[in-house]
Amino acid sequence: MAAGAASKLEIQLSYGIGMPEPISIFVDTFGTENVELEQIYAAIPMYFDCRPGMITKEFSLLAPTFKYKDLGALGHFGRPDIKTPWEELDKVEDLKKFFAKPLSNE
């Protein structure tokens, strides 16, 4: 991940019907983390609004700047030929600063 928290990162969000926030967040770094897992868990709700409506808005899913049909053939991640909002790195600097500080135990 671009902020340096891990070389490989998978984040799973689970939702309940009628619940605006995820009822579960699971992080797997496959042993590649460079910071404490607790820091990664703490960063997710701090820097990312995981409510379904906000994910829809953040990624412009209802009024996309890309064509969905273009994602069908070669996938929707790591496509330099298509500019998709989920590939933006606009939070990297803030996350680097966050990961550089130790977590407070308060």
- Measured CA to CA, the distance from residue 44 to residue 93 in angstroms comes to 15
Q: What pLDDT shows up at residue 40?
A: 95
Geometric angle at alpha carbon 44, from 42 and 45, rounded to 5°: 85
pLDDT digits (tens, 9 = 90+) for 96-106: 999 998 877 64
Residue ranges and CATH numbers for the domains of the chain are 10-100 (3.30.300.10)
Segment 21-26 shows an average pLDDT of 96
Q: pLDDT tier at 2 (50, 70, 90 boundaries)? A: confident
pLDDT digits (tens, 9 = 90+) for 39-91: 999 999 999 999 999 998 988 888 877 777 777 777 777 777 878 888 888 89
Distances in Å between the Cα of 42 and the Cα atoms of 19, 37, 58, 75, 91 are 20, 9, 20, 30, 15
- Measured CA to CA, the distance from residue 25 to residue 37 in angstroms comes to 12
